[in-house]
Structure 1
Amino acid sequence: MDFDLPETALAVRDGVAAVAARYDHAYWSRCEDEHAFPIEAWRDLAAGGWIGLTVPQEYGGGGAGMLELAVACETLAASGGTAGVFLYILTPGFGAMTLARHGTEEQKRSILPGVASGDTQFALGLTEPDAGSNALAIRTSSRRDGDELVINGQKIWISGLENADWMIVVTRSTSEADAKEQGRRTHGFTLALVDVKEAVAQGTLSYTPIPKMGANTVTSSQVFLDDVRVPVGHVIGEIDGGFPVLWDVLNPERILAAAGGVGGAEAALTVAADYAREREVFGRPIGANQAIQFPLAQLKATTELARLMTYKAAWLFDQGRPCGNEANVAKLTAAQVAWESANQAFQTLGGMAYSKEYPVERLFRDARIGKNIPVAEELILAHIGTQVLGLPRSY
């Protein structure tokens, strides 16, 4: 059993770290305060090939796998770019990974080179006002009209749409009621590529940003789709048969969210430890006090455990083996330790944590949402209870 990262992952870690070193906490805090997309960091990462990691080499990318992508995401977050996790979830994760595994040759040839160069960005349209973690309950519909699909519905909490060129929209091409009647609850899902800018120009797609607590470097919006027309050639997978593709989107999302959580925990612990070494009270550094030192040490240990599970889930995904349980455990533990580390950093800095002079207040806000997205920890616990422990379903 070999726990050494492969050379490809080590190269990614070093390469992303070198880019991230040019963007300090002050940069990410400024982007957050200005609600500005970190375009400079995005361009530098793309120029180094660190955005197109999972684009196959024949389309201009790195041909890497989920493990390398998770390492990149973790490294960026650990540098202080905790909201930068979305840079990896949205385009390399939702976009490149999905098309590389399930796209047609035409879709790959026309879209993936732009992802590799950093010129093309993605969003995912899944969550709806009445269908959050229960994807089976989505109501956004698609019907075939000749060589096109016509999409109608609403989505909510869709991140990154203001910069997206493409949105993968999850639709119901067979209603939930009809699917249940057929005894196939997961039948009738269709995933389609929507040209965002074209649909906006035609007036069939509109969106409204949602004011939110943190992670304001990427907007999250409510989206309205009114007779959006999509060529049948933009369907990912098969009409009515998109649910397996959706699962292959959701597991990478959990793994990348876990990687971001591990990196976020490291960022918070680094800030806290630096402060605890330098801040003196009663004639000695506060880090010499066990009341300060032990909680940080405990969280460092927990961070290492979350990292191991994240890497395991990513490795299983790359091997084509089932990874749902591991992806869920990784996301649960990483989100918890990211939040607890940010909270303990807040306690370590005391009143100064409340000041924007330090990045703790931003790390604190960015970490909290991880316990709820991309899936609430209560649902992960329910999954572990039923699917791993074999307990009766509670819902």
Structure 2
Amino acid sequence: MDFDLPESAIAVRDGVGAIAGKYGQDYWDRCDTEKRWPEEVWRELVDGGWHSLAIPEEYGGAGQGLLELAVALESLAGGGAGGAASFMYLLTPAFGGLTITRHGTEAQKAEFLPGIAAGELETCFAITEPDAGSNALNITTHARRDGDHYLISGQKIWISGVERADHMVLVTRTIPAAEAKPRTAGFTVFLVDIKKAEAEGTLTYRPIPKLGTNTVASSMVFLDDVRVPADRVLGEPDLGFAVLWDILNPERILAAAGGVGSGELVLEIACAYARDRAPFGKPIGANQGIAFPLAKIKAQLELARLMTYKAAWLWDAGKPCGSEANIAKLTAADAAWQAADRAFQTHGGMAYSLEYPVARMFRDARIAKNIPVAEEMVLAHIAQHELNLPRSY
């Protein structure tokens, strides 16, 4: 058993870390305040090929895997981006690049992957609906066949990055849930041309005001007979549930990597403050009441990192990784939140000042306990599948 990172992942860690190191907390605070995408960092990632790590070499990528993507995301988050890093590696590198690489036809790969690798094409992912949050089986967005096309109608919510994306990886029902046998049948995943649908007036969206992660908008999306060619189906019609899990598991693994990096970042900010702040003649970090909680968080982050790497390795190896992906997400999100909360407490009243980055990291860390899957759903999965306890929902 070898716990050393492969040389490819070490190179990614160092390369992305060097980019992240150029941008201080003031930069990330400005992006968050101005609610704008970190375009300067994104262009550096694209120019260096750090966003297309998992795209095959024949399409312009690096031919690596999810482990390298996870390491890149962790490095970017830990280097200063915090929660903003997750969307930079989820929206296009994972939702677009990984999904099309694994499930696209040869024609789809040839059409989409070179553009993603060149930084000329961006994607987003749409599954969540107002009445079907954690219960994806109950989505009602419906696609019906119309000759060589499908017509798609429905509504999605909390869709991040649609304002930037060229194409949307869209999860639909081609068999209603009430008629599907088994219930996991009848899912079909599409690649939808957002700009074309917008121009035709069949796709509209409305950003949702939100507490944090403001470097990317999250929107309500409305689909009204969006016309999509039949050759834009990812995988097979009605059999998209397998494609869906190959989207959701990497999403959870990458979210975990972002949590580990964000947690390390805010922990170091807290420790730096604890080393320097000395209101009673010695650094507050010398007090066990300050030091011990920070030390415990470090231990939690190390454990979360191990599970994140294991889950990514399993996915790259084509092995089952559902439980590992869930456990990685659960532990990393909680460790990141504990780190942000303890950093807030360590800074005392100064944490409430927007002149310090703690407030932004505090806001961004909290949502990770709810997305991309709520911790209660993760615990239910572990109870059922790992402990053989009765299904709770």
TM-score class, shorter: over 0.9
Q: Which runs of 5+ in 2 are unaligned?
A: none
Whole-angstrom CA distance in 2 between matches of 1:114 and 1:75: 25
Q: Matched residue of 1:62: which SS?
A: coil
- Mapping of residues 1-395 of structure 1, within 5 Å: 1-82=1-82, 83-179=84-180, 183-395=181-393
Whole-angstrom CA distance in 2 between matches of 1:254 and 1:282: 44
* Deviation at residue 394 of structure 1 after TM alignment: 1.2
Q: Matched residue of 1:178: which SS?
A: coil
* Deviation at residue 356 of structure 1 after TM alignment: 1.3
Whole-angstrom CA distance in 2 between matches of 1:80 and 1:20: 6
* Deviation at residue 81 of structure 1 after TM alignment: 0.9
Partner amino acid, structure 2, of 1:299: I
Alpha-carbon contact 1:191-1:235 (below 8 Å) kept: yes
Whole-angstrom CA distance in 2 between matches of 1:2 and 1:15: 23
Whole-angstrom CA distance in 1 between matches of 2:299 and 2:177: 45
Q: Matched residue of 1:366: which SS?
A: helix
> Identity across aligned pairs (percent)?
65
Q: Matched residue of 1:123: which SS?
A: strand
* Deviation at residue 281 of structure 1 after TM alignment: 1.6
Q: Matched residue of 2:50: which SS?
A: coil
Partner amino acid, structure 2, of 1:139: T
TM-score (norm 2): 0.99
Whole-angstrom CA distance in 2 between matches of 1:353 and 1:152: 45
Q: Which runs of 5+ in 1 are unaligned?
A: none
Q: Matched residue of 1:176: which SS?
A: coil
Alpha-carbon contact 2:21-2:80 (below 8 Å) kept: no
Whole-angstrom CA distance in 2 between matches of 1:318 and 1:239: 25
Whole-angstrom CA distance in 1 between matches of 2:280 and 2:177: 66
Whole-angstrom CA distance in 1 between matches of 2:114 and 2:268: 37
Whole-angstrom CA distance in 1 between matches of 2:178 and 2:378: 26
Alpha-carbon contact 1:42-1:118 (below 8 Å) kept: no
Q: Matched residue of 1:222: which SS?
A: strand
Q: Matched residue of 1:114: which SS?
A: helix
Whole-angstrom CA distance in 2 between matches of 1:241 and 1:18: 42
RMSD across aligned positions (CA) = 0.7
Whole-angstrom CA distance in 1 between matches of 2:11 and 2:348: 38
The Cα offsets for residues 176-223 of structure 1, whole Å up to 9 and x where unpaired, read as 1110xxx31111100000011111111100000000000010000000
Q: Which runs of 4+ in 1 moved over 2 A?
A: none
Alpha-carbon contact 2:70-2:312 (below 8 Å) kept: yes
Partner amino acid, structure 1, of 2:137: L
Q: Matched residue of 2:140: which SS?
A: coil
Whole-angstrom CA distance in 2 between matches of 1:216 and 1:350: 25
Alpha-carbon contact 1:79-1:267 (below 8 Å) kept: yes
Partner amino acid, structure 1, of 2:178: A
Whole-angstrom CA distance in 2 between matches of 1:192 and 1:363: 34
Alpha-carbon contact 1:56-1:62 (below 8 Å) kept: yes
Partner amino acid, structure 2, of 1:22: K
Q: Matched residue of 2:178: which SS?
A: helix
Alpha-carbon contact 1:66-1:315 (below 8 Å) kept: yes
Whole-angstrom CA distance in 2 between matches of 1:321 and 1:189: 23
TM-score (norm 1): 0.98
* Deviation at residue 44 of structure 1 after TM alignment: 0.5
| Higher mean C-alpha displacement, 286-295 vs 324-333 | 286-295
Partner amino acid, structure 2, of 1:377: E
Q: Matched residue of 1:281: which SS?
A: coil
Q: Matched residue of 1:175: which SS?
A: coil
The Cα offsets for residues 119-158 of structure 1, whole Å up to 9 and x where unpaired, read as 2111101000000011100000001101101000000000
Alpha-carbon contact 1:52-1:61 (below 8 Å) kept: yes
Q: Matched residue of 1:131: which SS?
A: coil
* Deviation at residue 357 of structure 1 after TM alignment: 1.4
* Deviation at residue 80 of structure 1 after TM alignment: 2.1
Q: Matched residue of 2:22: which SS?
A: coil
Aligned length: 392
Whole-angstrom CA distance in 2 between matches of 1:115 and 1:359: 32
Whole-angstrom CA distance in 2 between matches of 1:114 and 1:25: 31
Partner amino acid, structure 1, of 2:77: A
